Amino acid sequence: MKNNLQIANKLRSSGLRPTKQRVKIAEFLFEREKTFHFTVEELDKLINSKTNDEKISLATFYNTVHAFKKAGHLKEILTNNNKIYFDTHTGPHYHFFDSNSNELIDIDSKAIKLKNIPDAPNGKSIKDIDVVIN
């Protein structure tokens, strides 16, 4: 019960209403020891296969994941096969992408040194730098 309250407070503090489905998805994503990389379709299968409760629709997964991303709880990563992955680790870090297993693996941000980063175009600013090594 305590975890549900913490999750609900986390959602509320970022402007999201803690619906039953959002809380269930948030618990699955954020109550873990390690970073979790996933596609929305994988998340759907993982959560809906583990429960005998009421199933969550794929549309709800998409809407919830994008709401979590917009609120800053998830990071979106586009791979070279045009598949969109999401990452529960939102801080600066980079990735290896294994195209055989479709797996994203974290790289410590200190392991890569970026030099000669170009200036942003006029009127734009650099928010983040994503590096995905295939």
Q: Which tens digits make up the pLDDT trace of 71-110?
A: 999 999 988 778 899 999 998 888 988 888 888 999 987 8
Alpha carbons 7 and 18: distance in angstroms, whole number: 8
Taking residue 42's Cβ as centre, other Cβ atoms within 10 Å add up to 14
Cα angle 54, 102, 134; round to 5:
150
Phi, psi of 93 (to 5 degrees): -170, 170
Q: Which tens digits make up the pLDDT trace of 33-69?
A: 999 999 999 999 999 987 667 899 999 999 999 999 9
Q: What is the pLDDT of residue 2?
A: 53
Phi, psi of 6 (to 5 degrees): -65, -45
Q: What is the pLDDT of residue 1?
A: 45
Of residues 65 and 126, more confidently modeled = 65
* Closest C-alpha to 77, from 134, 125, 25, 115: 134
The two structure tokens encoding residue 129: 């730098």
Cα end-to-end span (Å), the chain: 41
The two structure tokens encoding residue 97: 């992408």
Q: Which tens digits make up the pLDDT trace of 77-88?
A: 988 778 899 999
